[in-house]
């Protein structure tokens, strides 16, 4: 009777981990590192990415360094639950692009004993909190903020300066549209 109260793998609680930072800070690289460790430990896992992010691959999450991992592509956060088949690790890249429902999706998964790993930009190109990221950080058990290196002065960077004239909040791109800057260099732009 006592042993029936616990899952076979010994885990009774899920949790949410958030990896955040600017463009080129290594968020996706860190996400892939964590899921590769789970894969090595034979933990069932699934990785999701929004359809909007098709920079490097249609079917994989790919870091700027070229590291990749196969992903399930979804349009809306609710599709994560419909594609989840009891994996113990659920990873989500580019969370800032998801609708506000991503918050309840992550909570529901964690409440079911799942380790949820979320990566995303914490600020947009104007230095404003981006999408659901502030709420995800608030409900998570673990937050890791990673930093890029300022391309102007070499200090730690946590701003993503847009280098093109487009002003919409969501503009998918990489080095052709963004560069990482520290606070001082970002203020001087």
The one catalytic residue in 58, 94, 141, 168 is: 94
Tell me if 111 sits within 8 A of 81, measured CB to CB.
no
CB hemisphere CA count around 133 (13 angstroms): 23
Distance CA(153)–CA(157), nearest Å, equals: 9
30 is catalytic: no
Tokens of 141: 């058990």
Pick from 133, 138, 185: which is nearest to 159 by CA?
A: 185
Cα-based angle 117, 123, 126 (whole degrees, multiple of 5): 160
Catalytic residues: 94
């Amino acid at each position: 009777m006592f042993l029936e109260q616990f899952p076979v793998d010994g885990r009774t609680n899920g949790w949410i981990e958030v990896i955040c930072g600017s463009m080129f800070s290594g968020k996706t690289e860190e996400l892939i590192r964590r899921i590769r460790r789970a894969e090595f430990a034979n933990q069932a896992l699934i990785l999701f990415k929004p359809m909007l992010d098709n920079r490097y691959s249609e079917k994989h999450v790919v870091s700027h360094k070229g590291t990749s991992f196969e992903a399930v592509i979804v349009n809306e956060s609710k599709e994560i639950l419909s594609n989840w088949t009891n994996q113990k690790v659920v990873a989500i890249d580019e969370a800032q692009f998801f609708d506000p429902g991503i918050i309840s999706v992550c909570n529901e998964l964690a409440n079911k004993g799942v380790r949820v790993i979320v990566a995303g930009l914490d600020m947009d190109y104007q230095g404003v909190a981006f999408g659901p990221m502030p709420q995800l950080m608030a409900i998570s058990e673990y937050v890791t903020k990673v930093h890029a290196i300022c391309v102007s002065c070499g200090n730690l960077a946590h701003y993503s300066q847009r280098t093109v004239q487009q002003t919409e909040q969501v503009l998918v791109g990489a080095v052709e549209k963004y560069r990482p800057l520290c606070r001082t260099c970002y203020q001087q732009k």
